[in-house]
Amino acid sequence: MLKIDHFKKIDAHIHFNAGRKSLLTLAENYNFDLLTINTEVPNFPSIQKQRKLAQQSSSSREVQLHHAATFSTKNIFKNEWAEQTIQHIQQSIDEGACGIKFWKNIGMTIQRPDNSFLMPDDPELKPVFTYLENNQIPVLGHQGEPKNCWLPIEEMTVKSDQDYFGSHPKYHMYKNDEYPDYMEHVEARDNVLSRHPNLTFIGLHLASLEWSLDELSRRLDNHPNLAVDLAERIAHLYHHTAQDRNKVIDFFHTYQDRIIYGTDIIDDPAIPVSQVKKKLETRWNNHWSFFSTNQLLRSDQIEDTFKGLDLPTSILEKIYRTNALQWYAVK
Ligand SMILES: [Zn+2]
């Protein structure tokens, strides 16, 4: 059995919001580099603070801490927003960011004065996407939510979605039908991919198509510029594996160059670091058992048992490292 520290890996989706060094030590012990994704989340530290935390710890001992930058949407309906945002993006890239994050607030929460929702394919964002495409700057896109978000809690397929939407009713769209529906988010994102065929686009969270590997495969086939990360959606893969393990294995073989590992762990300064470390360690170990062994596994996320995917080392190295290096062009 391949041990988890056998080769250098990257957890390409974390939020290093507290800047605590002991997470870096843990990563060193597990032979992980990290990529922290700055995001405009209301209860996260400011974008400036997140960037500082990433830069301060960028190469501590053996662990590389890469970062993706983001931008403020505060003045998004003002004429000068696009130009100022492009300047900010270029400065972030010059300072070492490996890509630019677009969060779900675009589509889910930002409204014009007439109450219409700003969607990713709206004209306000077009010059920014064009700039990113022309300058080969990767986009990290989290659009919409898992499809479970549009279902009642008891019909959701994994426990983490039940927990999240149970405690964040504002984002539980089943209860908010005046908001754009699930397919509107997916279509708006697909429009961006079609209009900008040379844009490098990493669809975070399995591109919000976690509920159907067929739908996800169709997007990957239609858009060669699209890769996906696994962050916070591996439980959905457990669910698929419990139903049809070979289909999941086929998916990983077919798209082995376009899948990027990440946990979406949040180093929240309000939570004791020992707790965050424990959660991260548990995730790393559980995910490793799932991808690298053929053991019969259980998870508190789904009811059924499922067998590990037993992926070959060559594919493990791609999803755990090489794909992140290539798609994010990190040095
Ligand atoms: Zn995240």
Largest CA distance in the chain: 58
User: What is the band of 59 on the pLDDT scale with cuts at 50, 70, 90?
Assistant: low
Question: How far apart, in whole angstroms, are the C-alpha atoms of residue 153 and residue 101?
Answer: 28
Strand order in the sheet with 265-266: 59-60, 63-68, 32-37, 9-15, 265-266
Q: Contact 186/205 with Cβ under 8 angstroms?
A: no
Cα–ligand 1 centroid distance for 105 (angstroms): 13
Domain ranges of the chain: 9-328
Least reliable range by pLDDT among 48-57, 108-117, 239-248:
48-57
Question: How far apart, in whole angstroms, are the C-alpha atoms of residue 298 and residue 304?
Answer: 7
| H-run or E-run covering 32 | strand 32-37
User: What is the band of 129 on the pLDDT scale with cuts at 50, 70, 90?
Assistant: very high
Q: What is the mean pLDDT of residues 80-86?
A: 98
Task: Indicate whether 61 pLDDT > 70.
Answer: no
Q: What is the mean pLDDT of residues 49-57?
A: 89
Phi (first) and psi of residue 12, to 5 degrees: -90, 20
Cα–ligand 1 centroid distance for 143 (angstroms): 12
Q: Point out which residues pair with 36 in neighbouring strands.
A: 14, 67
Strand order in the sheet with 100-102: 100-102, 139-141, 201-203, 226-229, 259-260
> How are the residues of the chain apportioned to helix, strand and coil, as percentages rounded to the nearest 5?
45, 15, 40
Task: Indicate whether 67 pLDDT > 90.
Answer: yes
Q: What is the mean pLDDT of residues 69-82?
A: 96
pTM of the model as a whole = 0.95
Question: How far apart, in whole angstroms, are the C-alpha atoms of residue 245 and residue 231?
Answer: 20
Instruction: Determine what percent of the chain is predicted with pLDDT higher than 70.
Output: 99
Task: Indicate whether 55 pLDDT > 90.
Answer: no
Q: Contact 16/57 with Cβ under 8 angstroms?
A: yes
Question: How far apart, in whole angstroms, are the C-alpha atoms of residue 38 and residue 47?
Answer: 7
| H-run or E-run covering 142 | none
Task: Indicate whether 128 pLDDT > 90.
Answer: yes
Question: How far apart, in whole angstroms, are the C-alpha atoms of residue 206 and residue 160?
Answer: 15
Question: How far apart, in whole angstroms, are the C-alpha atoms of residue 181 and residue 38?
Answer: 26
Q: What is the mean pLDDT of residues 106-122?
A: 95
Cα–ligand 1 centroid distance for 101 (angstroms): 10
| pLDDT tens digit sequence for 262-295 | 999 999 999 999 999 999 999 999 999 999 999 9
pLDDT of residue 171: 83
Task: Indicate whether 250 pLDDT > 70.
Answer: yes
Cα–ligand 1 centroid distance for 243 (angstroms): 27
Task: Indicate whether 185 pLDDT > 80.
Answer: yes
Cα–ligand 1 centroid distance for 1 (angstroms): 30
Contacts of 307 (CB under 8 A, 6+ apart): 241, 245, 294, 295, 296, 297
Q: Point out which residues pair with 259 in neighbouring strands.
A: 228
Question: How far apart, in whole angstroms, are the C-alpha atoms of residue 293 and residue 310?
Answer: 4
Which of 60, 40, 49, 138 has its CA nearest to residue 93?
A: 138
Cα–ligand 1 centroid distance for 13 (angstroms): 6
Q: For residues 322 and 1, which has the higher predicted lDDT (pLDDT)?
A: 322
Task: Indicate whether 119 pLDDT > 80.
Answer: yes
pLDDT of residue 60: 66
Which of 282, 293, 241, 283 has its CA nearest to residue 261?
A: 283
| pLDDT tens digit sequence for 298-328 | 999 999 999 999 999 999 999 999 999 999 9
Checking DSSP bridges between strand 100-102 and strand 139-141, what pairing results, if any? Answer: parallel
Which of 168, 141, 107, 310 has its CA nearest to residue 227?
A: 141
Cα–ligand 1 centroid distance for 38 (angstroms): 8
Cα–ligand 1 centroid distance for 10 (angstroms): 15
CATH 3.40.718.10 assigned to 9-328: no
User: What is the band of 330 on the pLDDT scale with cuts at 50, 70, 90?
Assistant: confident
User: What is the band of 297 on the pLDDT scale with cuts at 50, 70, 90?
Assistant: very high
